[in-house]
Structure 1
Amino acid sequence: MNHDADQRLVKAVQTGDEVAVAQALAGGADPNAEENGYQGSVLIGAARSGRLGVVGLLVDAGARIGPFGHFHVTPLRVAMLEAHTDVVQYLISHGALQAESATRMSILTEAMSCTRHRPRPAALATLRVLLEAGATPHPDEETPLIAAVMQPVAPAVLRLLLTNGADVNQQRSDGTPAIVIAARRGDHAAVDVLLQAGAAVDALDRQGRTALMHAVERNEQRVIAALLLAGAAIDSVSADGMTARKLARGWQRQHVQFMLGENSAGLDDVPITRTVVRIPPTDVRLCGDPQMLHLLASVIDIVLDDLGDDEWATRTGADAGTARAVAAQLRTEVVPAPNASWYQLDVTADELAALRSALVELAYGTTRVLPAPTSRLEIVDLLEELNRQLGR
């Protein structure tokens, strides 16, 4: 062991000095020298820093490409995590893929996760290199397409997987098709990518339910629209006798009923077999700036003044007294949030419903007066933002 040469090598690798690296190796430095107990070998350090020239010198000198230390860290994995695509490509060409440890998550699955947690062009390019090199998941992992839909990842990643041979009708290990998983998650972008790639729009899960049935149950209206535009069957019957129409009626999803082609919809008491649990809120915290919260109070006051208590109750189904109470709270009981810059107000589910009803009336009803200087389109925007947060 040549300790002095090893130290010169470590320093040269850390600074990226290729000449000094070559000199240290020629002087007897160990190409497997450790940077320190935490960082790993000098090759791992060079790969982490993306120093391709240094990586080449170390590999040519016999540096170990396989796992290092207790955590089985490899140069290939650290280069992948930092999205050094050229280093990844070089290491793969020298057998690094075959040297990966089977005790950790597969490098392919982890690379796919990186496109979500550290999204950047180089992460996508690195994933492409791994796919083209034939990287595969471990036997106990889901296929790349299923894992991607479950995370979920960006549409660009799905397209890359499909371009590289992923089966668009791939099923999860429990038999659930990818398009059903995407629909259940409300991922309309993934649903659209899968459909464009030729996924079977009416593929069934083990309960005989389609993606449309699951989307209807979860009120995922953008997913429903994508599926219907792709020709999803509305009247397919699941093993337990459910159809998309029955599920929409049973959950009282009136807008969805119209989307499914019904000409009228009410609050029918229709027994269905449910595969999802809904959690109605018992109280809600409204957060924002005082002027925005005061604007909501004005919306309620304007609609109440225009409709009167009786018409308000008829049109909204909400109590006028509840609406007035929440308007008063929005003006007088808004308080600064602790350890934050916004203001907040706790309201009940009924009070939130009254607020939403006022926004609906002002956005689409007969009331023509608007809070100055707000436009009707701004009220529509407020309503849509609230609906998205409520999952409507």
Structure 2
Amino acid sequence: MLLARLFRCLSLSLALVIAMLTPVPAAASATPEQQLREAAARGNAKQVSALLAQGATIDARDAQGRTALLLATHHNRVQAARVLIDAGADVNAQDAIHDSPYLYAGARGYNEILRLTLANGADLRSTNRYGGTALIPAAERGHVETVRTLIAAGVAVNHVNKLKWTALLEAIILGNGGPAHTEIVRLLVKAGADVNLADGDGVTPLQHARQRGYARIEQILFAADAR
């Protein structure tokens, strides 16, 4: 019994010695830029400020081409985005799929970040991977306030994307004909959208509205001399 106990203690001691002598691989430490992107995505505005003060490169990109500001925008982290923008982050820096903080905020209806980008040099003519301005996906997704904001900022209402659709066409074709999309159609028409600008197949906004039974949208278009 005593011998067994002695052997057990000796084994434990030997294991401890081996563990102490075995080199432990150093943990890969994140760079300041990686930490900045992670803090931005989490919305940790204080850490973002601290990392910038320590010299982290503000517009450094990850493997997908995303900056800290774009990652903050992805998660609608308003305060982190504000810190980055105030520090000079590029609101137009596009990633590998052509999203930028400005374009993404517009497409998702993240209005607080959108307004920050508009106040800090957003390129209104920049386009996403579909060749569309921020206004087109905002109209498609029913973001009424976003559409209103982008129109007021001066985004071209008759821009045609790679699908040969305008914001007006997307609001009708990809919308649901409900109150939000109806209001967006009204806003676009009021802002000078060409109600007779057809899609790539020659189908007009009015024809699309009729096909889908969107009576209120049809009325708005008809009142604007749509054919």
TM-score of the two chains, using structure 1 as the length reference: 0.43
1:201 and 1:242 map into 2 onto residues whose CA distance is 18
Distance in 1 of aligned mates of 2:165 and 2:147: 16
2:75 to 114, 119, 129: 114
Deviation string 1:288-310 (CA, Å, 9 cap, x unpaired) is xxxxxxxxxxxxxxxxxxxxxxx
Structure number with greater Rg is 1
Q: How does 1:346-361 map to 2 (within 5 A)?
A: none
C-alpha RMSD of matched pairs (Å): 2.9
- The structure where strand makes up a greater share of residues is 1
Which of the numbers 40, 57, 65 marks the counterpart of 1:80?
40
Partner amino acid, structure 2, of 1:66: P
Instruction: State the 1:135 CA deviation.
Output: 3.4
In the TM superposition, residue 95 of structure 1 has moved relative to its aligned partner by 1.7
Note if contact 2:206-2:222 (Cα within 8 Å) is conserved in structure 1: no
Letter in 2 for 1:147: Y
CA contact (8 A) 2:69 2:81 kept: yes
Q: Is this contact kept in 1: 2:59–2:89, CA < 8 A?
A: no
Partner of 1:165: 121
Task: Report which stretch shifted further, 214-223 or 90-99.
Answer: 90-99
**Conserved 8 A contact 1:234-1:243:** yes
Q: Secondary structure at the match of 2:161?
A: coil
Q: 1:98 deviation in Å? A: 5.8
Deviation at 1:138? 6.0
Distance 1:222 1:82, change over 3 A: same
Matched, 1:147 2:104: yes
Q: How does 1:1-392 map to 2 (within 5 A)?
A: 66=32, 74=35, 76-97=36-57, 102-103=62-63, 105-115=66-76, 123-136=77-90, 137=93, 139-141=95-97, 142-150=99-107, 152-217=108-173, 218=175, 219=177, 220-261=181-222
Q: Which letter maps to 1:103?
A: A
**What code does the residue aligned with 1:253 have?**
Y
The normalised TM-score by structure 2 is: 0.70
Letter matched to residue 161 of structure 1: T
The runs of 5 or more residues in structure 1 that have no matched partner are: 1-36, 42-63, 68-72, 116-122, 264-392
On the 8 A contact 1:207/1:239 being kept in 2, the answer is: yes
Query: Partner of 2:13 in structure 1?
Result: none
State the SS of the aligned residue for 2:171: helix
Matched residue, 1:338: none
Structure 2 CA distance, aligned partners of 1:138 and 1:154? 17
Letter aligned with residue 240 of structure 1: D
CA distance in 2, matches of 1:143, 1:83: 18
What amino acid does structure 1 have at the position aligned with 2:83? V
Judged with a 3 Å threshold, the aligned counterparts in structure 2 of structure 1 residues 80 and 206 are, in CA distance, closer, same or farther, namely closer
Structure 1 pair 85/171, CA: closer, same or farther in 2 (3 Å)? same
Query: Distance between the aligned counterparts of 1:193 and 1:166, measured in 2?
Result: 13
What residue ranges of structure 2 are gaps of 5+ in the alignment? 1-26
Q: Give the number of aligned pairs.
A: 189
| 1:271 match | none
Question: What CA distance in whole angstroms lies between the structure 1 residues aligned with 2:133 and 2:59?
Answer: 33
Cα pair 1:102 1:138 within 8 Å, conserved: no
Distance 1:101 1:149, change over 3 A: closer
Percentage of pairs with the same residue? 28
Instruction: Note the alpha carbon deviations across 1:262-309, whole angstroms, 9 max, x for none.
Output: 59xxxxxxxxxxxxxxxxxxxxxxxxxxxxxxxxxxxxxxxxxxxxxx
